Amino acid sequence: MEAELRSLRSLLIVARNEINNLRQQIRSLNYVHEKEVEEVKQILHSWRCSGCQLKSIQDNDFAIAGSSRNSSQTQNSNETEALELSPIGVVNSWFPEKRGTPRQPGVSGSARGKLTLFNTVFTNPEHALEGLEEYSHMWIIFHFHKNDSSHVRAKVAPPRLNGGRMGVFATRSPHRPCPVGLSLVQIDKVEGGVIFFSGVDMVDGTPVLDIKPYIPQYDDPLDCQHPLVGENMETRLITDGCDSDDEDLTPAILSLDLTPRRDSLAPVARSPIRDAMMLVSHSPVRDPSLMGLREAPDGEEGTSPVLGRPLVSPALSPGPSSSNMRPQVLVRVPAWIADPPVARLEVKFNEGAVEQLTAIQTERGESIEEARVAIQSVLQEDPRSVYLRQRWNNQFYTFLIAGLHVSCRFADNSSVVTVFRITAANKTCECGLPEWQCTVHNGTS
């Protein structure tokens, strides 16, 4: 009798748990339904014909929503105003969805994309890109349009922290109060109103808000070539006058270990601009006689100062004396940037995957090695979320890249990921579904 009671109690507990799970699923579905209804309302509310869109763009590139016509009320409501920005173009990349997309532009330097400017913004978009081909890199400011969450948290869990939480503004998480992304990419070529670039970390169809050329003299706080370190938030001192004699430098500066080490370097791509321009003897120095001069406005910088003084190239100007040396910039990074708790994975391709990749790329007339390197660069940084890594470790993982559907399996105990199947993403099965989605005819279950 007692055994039957225990059995009934256990069944009752299981039933209660299942009912609780069903309640949670209903709440989740209700939330998704409300969100989709709200999205439909927003689309209907913001819909405009092409003529109205063109007129709106010509009148004003962005409009301030909810502002009062009264100037005094406008000043009092500045903190609560919302900006409605119109994209200037769109990015086309190898990544049709968020799954498997690199989280940083330096993760997959071989991943290519193109940015196309809308002709509704400029009648001749190619005119807006004149001179951009003289730069090697550019910043892309874009909108995280694939964000699923409708609310923002003050703390997020970056995948590289393996479950640890940090303030959202101390990370590069896409789930931000203003879902705007910033990527530094390498310019391959500019053709008309289209920019071809490498190092893409954006989903296909990402709307672009702005682009800017990368200028190391303004964008890089390091005047000297120096590795980024993160040993217990260690601070490295970067000084003016890097071309001074060694014997004039202080022993503290000379004692700094500037030799790059694998365990202390931050896992970021080495910048070719820094290699080419940020030389030790080329630290830019402002002439004291020019300190009182007004600088030219942004976009109007020329080859000479405003008042006509001859400009001396920073690379040719004499360095300051050792007595005038002073700290200029303190550069530091958190320790988890240089030494994250998530190890870099070893990527292996089995024979079947290699044969499939070779056949697909040969049929397309595209590079086999480039596709292999792109897949390897994504997987070695472990693209899985913290939830998948902890809840479903040692499981299969699939993602799309460059028209390829990649299937792999993670072995977390040995830090190895094995690619066992690669298929063409656009190939249709006999049942009408994409071949990689069919579980009947492709031999998988």
Give me the amino acid identity at 239. Answer: T
Is residue 331 within 8 Å of residue 221, measured between CB atoms?
Answer: yes
Provide the pLDDT for residue 105: 80
pTM over 0.75: no
Residue 270 has pLDDT above 80, yes or no: no
Provide the pLDDT for residue 389: 83
Range 175-194 average pLDDT: 90
Fold of 346-437: YaeB-like fold (3.30.2310)
**85 token code pair:** 């920005």
Q: What confidence tens digit (pLDDT) does each residue in 305-329 have?
A: 444 444 344 443 444 444 455 445 4
Place of tokens 């004699």: 245
Q: What confidence tens digit (pLDDT) does each residue in 336-376 have?
A: 766 777 888 999 999 999 999 999 999 999 999 999 999 99
Is residue 382 within 8 Å of residue 409, measured between CB atoms?
Answer: no
Q: What confidence tens digit (pLDDT) does each residue in 282-310 have?
A: 434 444 334 434 344 333 444 444 444 44
DSSP calls for 1-12: -HHHHHHHHHHH
What is the band of 87 on the pLDDT scale with cuts at 50, 70, 90?
Answer: very high
Q: What confidence tens digit (pLDDT) does each residue in 28-44 have?
A: 888 888 888 888 888 88
Chain centroid to CA 165: 19
**72 token code pair:** 């005094």
Residue 102 has pLDDT above 60, yes or no: yes
CATH node for 82-218: 2.40.30.70
> How high does pLDDT run on average in the chain?
72
Q: What confidence tens digit (pLDDT) does each residue in 107-144 have?
A: 777 888 999 999 888 889 999 999 888 888 899 999 98
Helices 351-364, 368-379: inter-axial angle, 10-degree rounding? 130
3-state secondary structure of 385: coil
Provide the pLDDT for residue 283: 39
Provide the pLDDT for residue 53: 60
What is the band of 207 on the pLDDT scale with cuts at 50, 70, 90?
Answer: very high
Provide the pLDDT for residue 337: 67
Range 263-270 average pLDDT: 40
Name the phi and psi angles at 52, rounded to 5: -65, -40
The full set of domain ranges for the chain reads 2-68, 82-218, 224-286+315-339, 346-437
